[in-house]
């Protein structure tokens, strides 16, 4: 009865608050809007159980952050309002008192989550819903997600919040509980699961359900639409564990909680909040008390000090308040420790993330900074703890005097509001500065752990104490102002969290202009080559702009600062009016600064540069297609030769380019007009032709030009076209600055700047739904493998001669495709100029249309490769100069790169034919990526590649990558297949498979296995099984993993030579005229080299999306009287194909599959001795094999080398029981 | 130094509906140097007035001026809050402390906030105040462990920082034991020698012992503004007493204007206000300040008198 009464009172009390209803509204709207805005994978319904599960988890994360205050309030309201002497003495049991309250909080939380579901339902079935995106209504989709995801989460979180709040006596502790839960469950769970690979523990730690989300990445659309999250497997255990934790937390709270007088500090708040410490009542003795009376008439003189209220007094007051505020936060348990622990942990666990595919990385500062200095708008980082703690502590500081109850003492002191505001802000700023210092320490620990000893303290200081600190301080200022202006602690917290959420998700909400997202900027990065590069100037302007806003907001906060508990709107307005006169100078200054800086930025982003939203960009692409798509098949001349004169000015970040195109009509019809696609908004001037041409269309906005030739270009005839342009940023745009030309490490990519002949099909919108939205006809993302017409598009395969003269500053080397003819320096044309250096390059064999011009202060490592002259080989093969242009200090991998290039050139030219050029160049450029990029005769790589530091005896990934890129000179440039589905198999899979052979030849088969096992790990990442067959390969995973694995498997069935014959066959088939080759040609080559008995395998590997499910159930062995061993193997085998939406078909097996038996691995041997390894005929289902082996076996199983695609690899081989 | 309060009104919304509670109605007072007592029952509007004087609240109408036009600048209390705070000492009715802070450190912190910037001067002032409030021996103790009285004395020390010319003390003696109360009132009277000290209280003794001037306030209105001694004089031979059994009280109430009743050894002492001898067993008593207070509250003297007299 009492329980019921308390519960009802508590519940109604919370419902009587506007903020409660506000929260309901927020979640209702969230559920409604997010499912109206979201864009799902093709074929997945909006109301699919998988979708609902995803947004249940998403919603609960948001709820954990913002919704936890009921618990805190329910747990501590009596104490905080000092009503507890009344309530605690009521004849109510502890169980009723606390139980009813926690139940009331829990009920409200459940209602909030129900509001989320109501929002979802409204979104699905309310006005404006799109029934075509919905599947049938299924109650179980809602019940299972709510019951198995949301409800247990809410229960456990509420219990933990209640524990924190009750034991600390402070409602706000439930917010800290939320932070701890998020850190533990999200970042802790993810770290344990992936970085440490303790999968089960990591999954158990995941309270909120992110592990389910990750697993769902591997779901096919059908699974998303039908599969329910049920209590099974690890998830069952997860829920049991968290239910146990919830019960334990409640029990512990129950036991520790006393309905008794609260002596400050007698509780647990040590662990969480502020206040406590050893505060013991101070008793004045009887003696002292009597002395009071005795001396009561005596006079102690108080020195009469003169006080001057001048600027220096205010400075001292500001410092005193700042320091006191700093000490208050620093002294609370979570103030410095959370960030310190996280920093130290981040440093100590460096080896877990400072690696790439198992290869350790050099802990160069530029790389470490990527971990430590995420943008404020990034939520995929553990450092969101910094903004979240900032929000919390800003509230604590603003409310410090009022919560301690001495605001009437402090508010009547002669301290101006501005001093109070600035002083407290300085206190928080000092805390954030300390946090940043922790981050510096984290970086240094990271480098120590990684055995890297070049500590670039100056870079740390500039990045963390310069850039990051500024960002966090601006954010702190905003949060501070919010707390002051809202003047209600929990509402302030919610509003501040809302503001943070806006910063995080602004881009998703469609807010793109950086001037509209507080504290944002156009981004920055640090590079050893180009330093902070050109990013700092716009960064500074944006920060100046936001600091001006900060000043403006601060003045407003000072005007509305409340000096007592009462803060009625009218009173505050009245006070603001009184204070206005005093602060109007600052206010107008701030306004002026906002206008000046904002005006300058707007001038740069919207006037000097075109400001285009994503939507506008999409519209441009759509309009480009609508207007000029009709020219897609209009005959155009081919670009046969390009001549460039480039003047690079690294210090100005600019370059002048003059180019001449030699266009040849290779078609069979006369061409009467020349079409050009130009980068939109790039100003190209001085178009001239060497025959009369008149512009018909000059569309600067979409970037399309048509020049009509007075006299049509006859087949075989040619025309010259010249133009010029200036590369470089005009000021800065909303996207920042273009980093093509920088002080060191310029990289001008032809694709980014140069005009292209004809209509560019690849500019079109690809996504089917986008095309619908913009009213474009349906068209596949890339042309179908069976699209005959697409095979006639040869533009990407056209050969082109190239010549360039590149000038740059005197201390840099400029590089372009071709042999270096000459290099010279030129004196400055005017007195003030600098001496410049020039390079002249000419190709001696055609290259492709994509090329780049580089310039930097490079160190050059040069080597030679001389082709072996063997009988039958091309005797005209010329020696090749290998040049590695690298940043002088990035030299660790240079020798292995040279070696890899040499052996690759040797191997490929022997296997696949001669290398056509006399140079092979590899160039470094600024950037964090690790992959290389191949162009004809030129490979470039971002600095990230040079970070790899293979362990001696470990996987030599840089060697492999280099070999892969060299292989592109054959696969990609010599063989340029049709741009249709499956191209990736012919380009990337071939290159990888070729590189695997180089690795095997030079580093050994063992090393190759190491590579393969590393690459196979990607199979373990959850990935939908739904996919097209390899012949229609359309993604990275298929191109770089599945394709090479299929070739590798086939090689183990038919032999290396036959597979290479098929590859060579492709080169022989290269046609002089279109149509270009496709994977269908390769499939024919494969069938030609494969015996009929294995044609099924070629089909399964390449023409179907096949998965084998192979398993060894049991392996036993006994010794025969002859001394040999008889092994009995129970294996199970199944084979399924999965189509692109996830429909599975069982295929009966009649396959040849390897059965292997292995001896124990001997000491010091890299691998176990093979006792038996043969292909056996396997049928579907369970079967038993009996094998005789000469020695005692240790392990045995089916497909031990994982040749066939089997997602569960660990059960192929079992230990043999004797 | 004079504090001139003119026509101050203040009302609060009641939470529900549009009705308001009138906390202060047209209060006008003139307060010179010395101790000034503001006497009234709980809820009379004392604290509201004190908080307005202490710059913590805004009145709806009226003005307050501090200073003597003849000797120096006059401060508009409502507008020049910073200037007021520079000469203000305020001891609120109840207040908290940072439980972890030590008395000496927190007092030093307040000394800075009060504008005492010199390190040495601050040290001397803090020491003197801690000695004067008898907290010197516990200066290194944490405030969280202080008793109510010690905490109150700490508040006094804070209020006294910087030799305030305007001292506002809101019901200071409520939580003090008799010895502490005496000590505290002594401190105040010393200060009152050249400052304006306003003491709000519902305890008549506080005023009678200390104050040279006083006002009685009820329901937001000033009922009487007087010097205590003169007010007592004014009641000479108008207060009559009779000791009766409790059962006789009802009868007496119908016949006389009772201003107060009090228990004495189980019987009831009744005071009535009457300008002539009421007879009926009443005997004359020498009036005290309590009689002034109750007579005022009952409407026999002070601003409400005319109405009641009708």
User: E strands of B33-94, at which residues?
Assistant: 34-39, 61-66, 75-76, 88-91
Inspect the interface and report whether the beta carbons of A415 and B100 lie closer than 8 Å.
no
How far does A291 lie from chain B, in Å, by closest CA?
Answer: 9
Q: Identify the pLDDT of residue B306.
A: 43
Nearest-Cα residue of chain B relative to residue A293: B179
Kindly tell me if the per-residue pLDDT of A288 is higher than 60: no
**Between β-strands B166-170 and B196-201, what pairing exists: parallel, antiparallel or unpaired?**
parallel
pLDDT of residue A1172: 92
Distance from CA of B229 to the nearest CA of A (A): 24
Q: Which chain B residues are Cβ-neighbours of A302 within 8 angstroms?
A: 125, 128-129, 132, 160, 163
The answer to whether the beta carbons of residues A1097 and A1113 sit under 8 Å apart is no
When pLDDT is averaged across residues A663-679 and rounded to a whole number, the result is: 93
User: Binning pLDDT at 50, 70 and 90, where does residue A1032 land?
Assistant: very high
Instruction: Using the predicted structure, report yes or no on whether residue A112 has a pLDDT greater than 50.
Output: yes
Q: Mark which residues 256-275 of A lie under 8 Å from B by CB.
A: 264-265, 274-275
**Above 70 in pLDDT, residue A283?**
no
A384 secondary structure, DSSP code? G
Tokens representing residue A822 in the block: 């000459």
The reply to whether residue B117 touches residue A296, judged by beta carbons under 8 angstroms, is no
pLDDT, residue A271, reads: 41
Cβ contact, residue pair A413, B125, below 8 Å: no
Lowest mean pLDDT, pick from A67-76, A304-313, A460-469: A67-76
What does DSSP assign to residue B33? Answer: S
A311 contacts on B by Cβ (under 8 Å)? none
Looking at residue A830, its pLDDT comes to 64
Contacts of A564 in chain B (CB under 8 A): 51, 56-57
Range with lowest mean pLDDT among A17-26, A709-718, A803-812, A1001-1010: A17-26
Q: Please check the confidence at residue A859 and state whether its pLDDT lies above 70.
A: yes
A57-71, A672-686, A717-731: least confident range: A57-71
Q: Do the Cβ atoms of A303 and B125 come within 8 Å?
A: yes
| ω into A1075 cis (within 30 of 0) | yes
- Other Cβ atoms within 10 Å of B176 Cβ, number: 17
For residue B222, the Cα-to-chain-centroid distance in whole angstroms is 13
- pLDDT confidence of residue B171: 84
- A1035-1039, A1166-1170, B36-40, B86-90: least confident range: A1166-1170
Judge: A313–B162 Cβ closer than 8 Å, yes or no: no
Beta carbons of A1111 and A1198 less than 8 angstroms apart = yes
Structure tokens at A916: 């056509």
B chain contacts of residue A406, beta-carbon cutoff 8 Å: 95-98
- Spatial neighbors of A197 by CB under 8 A, at least 6 apart, are none
pLDDT at A925: 95
Which of B53, B57, B58 would you mutate first to test chain A, the one with the most A CBs within 10 A? B58
User: What is the reported pLDDT for A272?
Assistant: 42
- Considering only residues B280 and A270, tell me which one the structure prediction assigns the higher pLDDT: B280
Say if the Cβ atoms of A305 and B121 lie within 8 Å.
yes
Is the pLDDT at A1204 greater than 50? The verdict is yes
Q: Which of B83, B98, B121 to mutate to test the interface with A (most CBs of A within 10 A)?
A: B98
ipTM, interface predicted TM-score of the complex = 0.90
Q: To which H or E segment does residue A1134 belong?
A: strand A1125-1138
Mean pLDDT score across all residues of chain B:
86
Residue of chain B minimizing CA distance to A296: B183
- What does the alpha-carbon distance between residue A855 and residue A814 come to, in Å, rounded to a whole number? 4
Contact B145 A303 (CB under 8 A): no
How far apart, in Å, are the Cα atoms of B251 and each of A472, B248, B254, B273? 77, 6, 5, 17
Question: Given CA atoms A185, A190, A196, A200 in this order, what sign does their dihedral have?
Answer: positive
**pLDDT at site A299:** 53
Residue B288, token pair as written in the block: 């005290």
Structure tokens at A120: 């979802």
Decide if A408 and B95 are in contact by the 8 Å CB cutoff.
Answer: yes
| Residue from A267, A280, A414, A566 to probe the interface with B (highest B Cβ count within 10 Å) | A414
What pLDDT does residue A1080 have? Answer: 95
Q: Tokens standing for A387?
A: 């903004």
For residue A313, give the nearest of B56, B117, B182 by CB distance: B117
Which has the higher per-residue pLDDT, A481 or A255? A481
State whether B81 and A578 contact (CB < 8 Å): yes
The answer to whether A307 contacts B162, with C-beta atoms less than 8 Å apart, is yes
* B20-32 and B2-13 strand pairing: antiparallel
Domains of chain B, with CATH numbers?
2-96+159-226 (3.40.50.300), 237-309 (no CATH)
Contact B290, B204 (CB under 8 A): yes
Q: How far is A232 from chain B, CA to nearest CA, in Å?
A: 50
Residue partners of A1094: CB distance under 8 A and separation at least 6: A1053, A1054, A1152
Nearest to B101 by CA among A401, A413, A390: A401
Nearest-Cα distance to chain A for B256, in Å, is 41
Q: Phi first, then psi: what are they for B217, rounded to 5°?
A: -125, 140
Which residues of chain A have a CB within 8 Å of the CB of B122? 305
Q: Which residues pair with A854 in a beta bridge?
A: A747, A815
Q: Hey, are the CB atoms on A409 and B182 less than 8 Å from each other?
A: no
Looking at per-residue confidence, does A615 or A293 come out higher? A615
| Contact between B99 and A265 using a beta-carbon 8 Å cutoff | yes
Max avg pLDDT among A25-29, A1060-1064, B50-54, B192-196: A1060-1064
pLDDT band at A481 (very low <50, low <70, confident <90, very high): very high
Question: A574 and B150 in contact by Cβ < 8 A?
Answer: no
Substitution target in A409, A569, A573, A579 with the highest count of B β-carbons within 10 Å is: A409
Contact (Cβ atoms closer than 8 angstroms) between residue A817 and residue A851: yes
Torsion sign over Cα A258, A260, A266, A272: positive
Which pLDDT belongs to residue A230? 86
Per DSSP, A948 falls in state B
Mean pLDDT of chain A: 89
- CB distance A917 to A880 below 8 Å: yes
Determine, for residues B100 and A288 on separate chains, whether the beta-carbon distance falls below 8 Å. no
What is the dihedral angle through the alpha carbons of A948, A953, A959, A963, rounded to the nearest 10 degrees?
-150
Contact A317 B183 (CB under 8 A): no
Q: Domains along chain A?
A: 15-260 (no CATH), 311-608 (no CATH), 858-954 (3.30.2010.30), 970-1104 (1.10.390.10), 1105-1218 (2.60.40)
**Does residue B173 have a pLDDT over 80?**
no
Quote the pLDDT of residue A800: 93
- Tokens matching residue A258: 């006393």
- pLDDT class for A293, splitting at 50, 70, 90? very low
For A813, phi and psi rounded to 5 degrees? Answer: -110, 130
Between CA B273 and CA B240 the distance in angstroms is: 6
Q: Does A1114 touch chain B (CB under 8 A)?
A: no
* Nearest to B163, CA basis, from A302, A316, A313: A302
Across the interface, whether the CB atoms of B186 and A282 are under 8 A apart is answered no
- Sign of the Cα torsion A590, A592, A596, A599 reads positive
A154 pLDDT more than 50: yes
> Residue A284 — pLDDT band, cuts 50, 70, 90?
low
pLDDT at B180 exceeding the cut of 90: no
Half-sphere exposure of B248 (CA within 13 A, CB side): 12
Dihedral sign for Cα A1124, A1130, A1135, A1136, please. Answer: negative
Q: In chain A, pLDDT over 90 holds for what percent of residues?
A: 60
Please tell me the predicted confidence (pLDDT) of residue A266: 38
Angle at A506 between CA A505 and CA A509, to 5 degrees: 90
Say if CB A721 and CB A689 are below 8 A apart: yes
Query: A227: left (phi > 0), else alpha (psi -120 to 50), else beta?
Result: beta
- Considering only CB atoms, A292 lies closest to which of B116, B134, B159, namely B134
**B75-76/B61-66 β-pairing:** antiparallel
Lowest mean pLDDT, pick from A66-70, A591-595, B228-232: A66-70
DSSP string covering A186-223: IIIHHIIIIIS--HHHHHHH-SSSHHHHHHHTT--HHH
Q: Give the range with max mean pLDDT: A519-523, A542-546, B82-86.
A: A542-546
pLDDT of residue B94: 84
Provide, as residue numbers in chain B, all residues whose Cβ is less than 8 Å from the Cβ of A320. 109, 112-113
- Determine the average pLDDT of the residues in A81-91: 74
How many Cβ atoms from other residues are within 10 Å of residue A93's Cβ? 12
Best of A169, A304, A408, A562 to disrupt the B interface (most B CBs within 10 Å) is A408
Q: Is A280's Cβ below 8 Å from some Cβ in B? A: yes
Q: Please name the residue ranges forming H helices in A635-779.
A: 750-753, 768-773
User: Which residue has tokens 């592990």?
Assistant: A211
Contact across the interface for B145 and A282, Cβ inside 8 Å:
yes
- pLDDT, one tens digit per residue, over A325-362 is 999 999 887 889 889 998 998 999 888 889 898 899 99
Q: Which residues of A touch B96 (CB under 8 A)?
A: 404-406
Q: For A776-792, what is each residue's pLDDT tens digit?
A: 998 888 899 999 988 98
Weakest mean pLDDT among A126-130, A298-302, A1044-1048: A298-302
CA distance A595 to chain B (A): 32
Strands (E), A632-703: 638-649, 654-664, 671-677, 684-689, 693-699
User: Which DSSP category does B14 fall into?
Assistant: -
8 Å CB contact between A657 and A691: no
């Amino acid at each position: 009865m009492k329980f019921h009464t308390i519960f009802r009172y508590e519940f109604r009390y919370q419902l009587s608050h506007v903020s409660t209803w506000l929260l309901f509204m927020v979640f209702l709207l969230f559920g409604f809007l997010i499912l109206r805005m979201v864009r799902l994978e093709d074929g997945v319904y909006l109301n699919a159980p998988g979708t609902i599960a995803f947004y249940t988890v998403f919603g609960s994360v948001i709820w954990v952050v913002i919704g936890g205050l009921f618990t805190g309030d329910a747990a501590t309201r009596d104490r905080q309002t000092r009503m507890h002497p009344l309530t605690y003495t009521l004849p109510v049991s502890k169980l009723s008192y606390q139980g009813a309250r926690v139940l009331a909080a829990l009920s409200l939380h459940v209602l909030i989550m129900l509001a989320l579901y109501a929002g979802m339902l409204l979104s699905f079935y309310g006005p404006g819903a799109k029934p075509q995106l919905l599947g049938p209504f299924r109650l179980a989709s809602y019940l299972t997600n709510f019951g198995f995801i949301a409800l247990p989460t809410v229960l456990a979180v509420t219990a933990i919040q209640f524990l924190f709040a009750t034991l600390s006596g402070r409602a706000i502790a439930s917010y800290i509980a939320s932070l701890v839960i998020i850190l533990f469950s999200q970042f802790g769970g993810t770290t344990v699961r992936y970085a440490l690979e303790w999968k089960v523990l990591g999954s158990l730690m995941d309270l909120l359900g992110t592990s389910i989300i990750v697993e769902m990445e591997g779901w096919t659309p059908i699974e998303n639409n039908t599969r329910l999250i049920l209590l099974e497997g690890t998830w069952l255990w997860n829920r049991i564990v968290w239910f146990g934790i919830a019960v334990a937390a409640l029990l512990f709270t129950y036991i520790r909680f006393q309905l008794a007088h609260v002596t400050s500090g007698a509780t647990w708040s040590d662990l969480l909040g502020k206040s406590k410490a050893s505060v013991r009542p101070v008793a004045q003795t009887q003696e002292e008390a009597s002395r009071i009376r005795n001396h009561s008439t005596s006079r102690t003189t108080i020195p009469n000090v003169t006080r001057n209220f001048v600027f220096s007094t205010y400075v001292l007051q500001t410092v005193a308040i700042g320091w006191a505020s700093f000490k208050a936060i620093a002294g609370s348990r979570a103030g410095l420790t959370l960030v310190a622990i996280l920093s130290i942990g981040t440093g100590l666990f460096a080896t877990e993330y400072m690696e790439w595919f198992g290869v350790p990385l050099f802990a160069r500062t530029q790389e470490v900074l990527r971990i430590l200095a995420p943008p404020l708008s990034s939520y995929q980082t553990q450092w969101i703890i910094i903004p979240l703690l900032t929000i919390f502590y800003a509230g604590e500081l603003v409310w410090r005097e009022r919560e301690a109850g001495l605001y009437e003492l402090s508010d009547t002191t002669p301290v101006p509001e501005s001093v109070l505001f600035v002083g407290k802000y300085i206190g928080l700023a000092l805390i954030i500065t300390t946090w940043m210092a922790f981050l510096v320490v984290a970086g240094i620990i990271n480098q120590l752990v990684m055995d890297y000893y070049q500590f670039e303290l100056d870079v740390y200081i500039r990045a963390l104490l310069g850039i990051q600190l500024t960002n966090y301080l601006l954010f702190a200022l905003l949060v501070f102002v919010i707390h002051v202006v809202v003047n209600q602690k929990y509402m302030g917290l919610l509003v501040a969290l809302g503001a943070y959420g806006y910063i995080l998700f602004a881009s998703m909400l469609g807010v793109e202009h950086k001037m509209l997202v507080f504290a944002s900027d156009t981004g920055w990065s640090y590079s050893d080559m180009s330093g902070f590069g050109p990013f700092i100037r716009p960064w500074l302007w944006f920060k100046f702009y936001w600091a001006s806003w900060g000043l403006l907001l601060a003045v407003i906060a000072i005007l509305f600062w409340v000096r007592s508990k009462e803060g009625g709107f009218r009173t505050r307005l009245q006070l603001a009016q009184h204070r206005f006169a005093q602060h109007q100078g600052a206010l107008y200054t701030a306004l002026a600064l906002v206008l000046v800086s904002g005006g300058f930025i707007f001038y740069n982003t919207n006037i000097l540069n075109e400001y285009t939203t994503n939507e506008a960009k999409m519209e441009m692409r759509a309009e480009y297609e609508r207007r000029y798509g009709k020219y897609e098949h209009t005959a155009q001349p081919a670009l046969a030769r390009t001549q460039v004169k480039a003047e690079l000015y690294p210090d100005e970040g600019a370059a002048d380019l003059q180019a001449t195109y030699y266009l040849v009509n290779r078609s069979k019809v006369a061409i009467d007009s020349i079409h050009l696609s130009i980068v939109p908004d790039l100003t190209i001037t001085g178009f001239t032709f060497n025959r009369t041409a008149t512009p018909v269309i000059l569309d600067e906005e979409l970037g399309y030009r048509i020049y009509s030739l007075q006299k049509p270009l006859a087949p075989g005839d040619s025309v010259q076209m010249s133009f010029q342009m200036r590369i470089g940023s005009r000021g800065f745009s909303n996207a920042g600055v273009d980093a093509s030309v920088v002080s060191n490490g310029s990289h001008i990519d032809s694709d980014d700047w140069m005009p292209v002949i004809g209509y560019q099909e690849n500019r079109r919108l690809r996504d089917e739904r986008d095309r619908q939205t913009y009213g474009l006809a349906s068209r596949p993302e890339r042309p179908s493998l069976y699209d005959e017409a697409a095979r006639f598009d040869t533009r990407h395969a056209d050969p082109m001669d190239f010549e360039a003269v590149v000038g740059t500053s005197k201390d840099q080397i400029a590089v372009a495709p071709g042999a270096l003819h000459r290099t010279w320096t030129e004196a400055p044309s005017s007195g003030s100029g600098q001496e410049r250096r020039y390079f002249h390059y000419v190709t001696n064999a055609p290259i492709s249309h994509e090329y780049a011009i580089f310039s930097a202060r490079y160190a050059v490592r040069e080597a030679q490769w001389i082709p072996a002259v063997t009988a039958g080989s091309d005797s005209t093969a010329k020696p090749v100069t290998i040049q590695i242009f690298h940043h002088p200090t990035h030299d660790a991998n240079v020798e292995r790169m040279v070696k890899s290039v040499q052996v690759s050139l040797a191997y490929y030219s022997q296997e696949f034919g001669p290398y056509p050029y006399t140079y092979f160049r590899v160039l470094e450029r600024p950037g964090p990526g690790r992959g290389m990029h191949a162009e004809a005769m030129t490979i470039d790589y971002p600095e990230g590649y040079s970070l790899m530091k293979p362990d001696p005896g470990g996987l030599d990934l840089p060697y492999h990558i280099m070999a892969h890129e060299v292989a592109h000179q054959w696969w990609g440039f010599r063989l340029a297949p049709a741009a249709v589905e499956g191209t990736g198999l012919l380009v990337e899979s071939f290159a990888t498979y070729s590189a695997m052979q180089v690795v095997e030849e030079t580093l050994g088969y063992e090393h190759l296995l190491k590579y393969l096992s590393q690459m196979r790990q990607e199979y373990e990442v959850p990935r939908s099984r739904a996919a097209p067959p390899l012949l229609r390969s359309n993604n990275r995973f298929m191109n770089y993993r599945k394709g090479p694995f299929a070739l590798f498997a086939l090689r183990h069935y038919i032999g290396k030579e036959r597979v290479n014959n098929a590859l060579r066959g492709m080169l022989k088939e290269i046609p002089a005229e279109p149509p270009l080759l496709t994977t269908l040609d390769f499939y024919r080559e494969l069938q030609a080299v494969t015996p009929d008995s294995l044609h099924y395998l070629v089909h399964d590997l390449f023409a179907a999306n096949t998965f084998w499910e192979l398993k060894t159930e049991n392996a036993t062995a006994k010794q025969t009287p002859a001394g040999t061993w008889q092994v009995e193997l129970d294996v199970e085998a199944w084979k399924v194909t999965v189509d692109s939406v996830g429909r599975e078909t069982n295929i009966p097996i009649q396959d040849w599959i390897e059965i292997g038996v292995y001896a124990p691995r001997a000491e010091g041997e890299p691998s176990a001795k093979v006792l038996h390894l043969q292909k056996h005929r396997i049928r579907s289902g369970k079967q038993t094999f009996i094998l005789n082996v000469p020695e005692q076996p240790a392990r045995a199983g089916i497909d031990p080398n994982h040749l066939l695609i089997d997602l569960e690899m660990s059960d192929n081989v079992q230990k043999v029981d004797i | 130094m004079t504090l001139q309060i003119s026509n101050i009104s203040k009302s609060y919304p009641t939470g529900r509906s549009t009705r308001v509670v009138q906390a202060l109605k047209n209060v006008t007072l003139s307060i010179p140097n010395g101790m000034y007592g503001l006497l009234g029952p709980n809820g009379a509007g004392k604290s509201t007035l004190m908080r307005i004087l202490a710059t913590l609240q805004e009145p709806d109408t009226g003005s307050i001026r501090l200073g003597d036009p003849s000797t120096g600048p006059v401060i508009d209390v409502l507008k020049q809050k910073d200037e007021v705070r520079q000469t203000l000492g305020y001891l609120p009715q109840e207040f908290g402390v940072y439980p972890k802070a030590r008395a000496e450190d927190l007092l030093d912190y307040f000394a800075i906030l009060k504008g005492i910037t010199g390190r040495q001067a601050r040290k001397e002032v803090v020491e003197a105040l801690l000695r004067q409030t008898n907290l010197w021996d516990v200066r290194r103790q944490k405030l969280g462990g202080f008793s109510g009285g010690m905490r109150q004395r700490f508040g006094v020390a804070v209020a006294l920082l910087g030799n305030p010319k305007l001292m506002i003390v809101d019901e200071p003696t409520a939580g003090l034991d008799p010895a502490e109360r005496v000590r505290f009132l002594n401190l105040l009277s010393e200060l009152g020698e050249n400052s304006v000290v306003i003491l709000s209280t519902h305890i008549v003794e506080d005023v009678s012992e200390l104050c040279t001037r006083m006002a009685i306030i009820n329901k937001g209105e000033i009922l009487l503004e007087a010097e205590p001694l003169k007010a007592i004089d004014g009641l000479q031979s108008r207060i009559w007493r009779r000791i009766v059994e409790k059962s006789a009280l009802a009868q007496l109430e119908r016949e006389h204007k009772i201003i107060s009743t009090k228990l004495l050894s189980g019987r009831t002492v009744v005071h009535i206000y009457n300008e002539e001898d009421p007879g009926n067993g009443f005997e004359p008593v020498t009036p005290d300040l309590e009689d002034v207070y109750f007579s005022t509250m009952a409407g026999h003297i002070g601003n409400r008198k005319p109405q009641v007299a009708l």
